[in-house]
Chains A and B, each alone.
Chain A
């Protein structure tokens, strides 16, 4: 298995006495969509936060592309190619949509620090084109000069997606990308994700919506009470009685 992109091994994380993550082992293969599901409070968001550097695991390691990113600064992890789409949109409300997308594009182009204070933005055609392309792809093109604070919540989430995609991530982490969306918007998001899946990008999705999970995922891990209780292809997970017991309360999918 040399095509493992993300390798989380033996990760523990406690808050005070509460064990949020208990011995997590997780391998994500290149080019695949890996979904992590589980009931509320199972530790899904904690796991994501541990991967992107918001939290540092107590023990264990996170290896990305053969390199340990455990305990690295968030910006270093991003620069390594791990990009997260936030559940509640984290955008730059005072900037225009185009500027919102250009900022991450600059980060990918220039690295974490660049003092180009005498250079005109006008000279940055490549970055601008890259940003516009992604926005066109996501249907945000027509409002790119509006301030981001004007957007509806759904559009803000699409903007988030654009900000992440423009970085051309090697690993994309999506935290409940369709939570709170209408059926139409959900389908649209699924369609977008399928399209970028075709380009061979690896993704980890945390999701509640089984419709989304089963229409996208190549591999599913089920998290309950801070531990992975089951991991495998969708059909295996679907039929697993342990999962149905822990997660679905015995009901059949």
Chain B
């Protein structure tokens, strides 16, 4: 709750760090323990945590956050091309460019609230997407996407005595190549830092003010607050998170394409956040992990796999089930996403975290009924800041 001692924050951080760093161990039983996938969990986790700072705290629903993800990727690839294959300058550069971009978009779209805001962010992101495809081809390399080339200047690398190699160079952290497990651990450390900042924001006076804005923005004005700068700051921070995630995508695979900025990508981060639970600390991470995990599994399934999976059934049942399930897997993964989207909003608007809270509340109530005390109101923190 509000007044917990800071010690609890340290506890949360310690547990979180342990959980993230041991991911290769405990994801093994789910068949997810390989660096590429775990890296994706971490990157989209960062994206979702950043989105949640905006949507979860202020209630401002941005439908254009993928634009910042794309901008981050482009900026990082440019840093690889011009400066160095080292990931640190790329990340810093990406965050700065994303921040700049977020200031521009935020300045315009935060002039309105509610649905206007959602529509504006959607439109501005779509405009960025169109521009990346057409006008800005010199910067984005249009449809092909921006990628490394032989003869990139890479001034820092060459200044420090690197030599042109036969193949394209790979991203590194002071010589440590960012592929395989080192790549995952790098993303994991960045995720831990990003989560820590999110935790601090949640538990700061600033975070409290943001939640008050969500609850009753009008009242905030008559309470002496100029709300717009607060909103702009959190919008920019949130955009920087997306830029960071975009740069990490470029770290794992140094190319950037406009499709990363499309509205479907913006929709995906919204879904991750609400699936896990908007406004909760770890909900968005849960959502991001689950969606990326099932995307990975579902996309790989085709009719052949389904047939063999249902082979224990009689033929006609097998065919029938395959017919029903097939549109939802493989190419049809997006259909599953859309259906999941609707199901979450209709049945569990608070996301998985809300579900857990309801279950524990139910368990407590049953327990207290058995104990014969029957106190109906459990004084538990009915509050969203909990993780």
Contact = CB atoms under 8 A, between A and B. Distances in A.
A–B contact, 8 Å CB criterion (strictly below): yes
B313 to A, nearest CB: 49
A116 to B, nearest CB: 5
A53 B24 CA distance: 58
A112 B225 contact: yes
Given A103-B208, A106-B209, A117-B207, A145 B216 contact: no
Interface in B221-260: 221-227, 229-230, 233-234, 237
A116 B203 CA distance: 11
Interface in A110-142: 110-122, 124, 127-128
A78 B208 contact: no
A122 B383 CA distance: 17
B241 to A, nearest CB: 13
Contacts of B383: 96, 147
A110 B205 CA distance: 10
Interface string A147-183: 1000000000000000100010000000000000000
Interface stretch (B2-10, B70-78, B314-322): B2-10
A92 B225 contact: no
Nearest to B197: A118
Given A74-B222, A84-B222, A91 B2 contact: no
A91 B206 contact: no
B112 interface: no
B382 interface: yes
Contact of A74 (B211, B212, B221, B234): B221
B214 interface: yes
B311 interface: no
A73 interface: yes
Contacts of A74: 221-222
B215 interface: yes
A19 B382 CA distance: 48
A45 interface: no
Interface residues of B, number: 42
Nearest to B59: A94
A82 to B, nearest CB: 10
A103 B212 contact: yes
A92 B215 contact: yes
B96 interface: no
Interface string A202-229: 0000000000000000000000000000
Interface string B350-387: 00000000000000000000000000000101111000
A128 B229 contact: no
A113 B53 CA distance: 18
A104 interface: yes
A58 B307 CA distance: 76
Contact of B221 (A73, A95, A111, A117): A73
A128 B2 CA distance: 10
User: Which among B207, B219, B223, B227 has the greatest number of chain A C-beta atoms within 10 A?
Assistant: B223
A112 B219 contact: no
B1 A52 contact: no
B223 A120 contact: no
B230 A113 contact: yes
A231 to B, nearest CB: 27
Given A94-B215, A122-B3, A122-B5, A103 B209 contact: yes
11 contacts: A92-B215, A95-B208, A95-B211, A98-B3, A99-B2, A102-B208, A113-B226, A120-B203, A122-B3, A163-B223, A167-B223
Interface of B: 1-6, 9, 197, 200-201, 203-209, 211-212, 214-216, 218-227, 229-230, 233-234, 237, 379, 381-384
Top-8 shortest CB links A-B: A107-B224, A78-B224, A117-B206, A92-B215, A112-B226, A94-B215, A74-B221, A90-B219
Given A90-B222, A99-B211, 18 more contacts: A74-B221, A75-B223, A75-B226, A79-B224, A94-B211, A95-B215, A96-B1, A96-B2, A98-B3, A111-B224, A115-B230, A117-B234, A118-B200, A119-B205, A120-B9, A127-B205, A145-B379, A163-B223
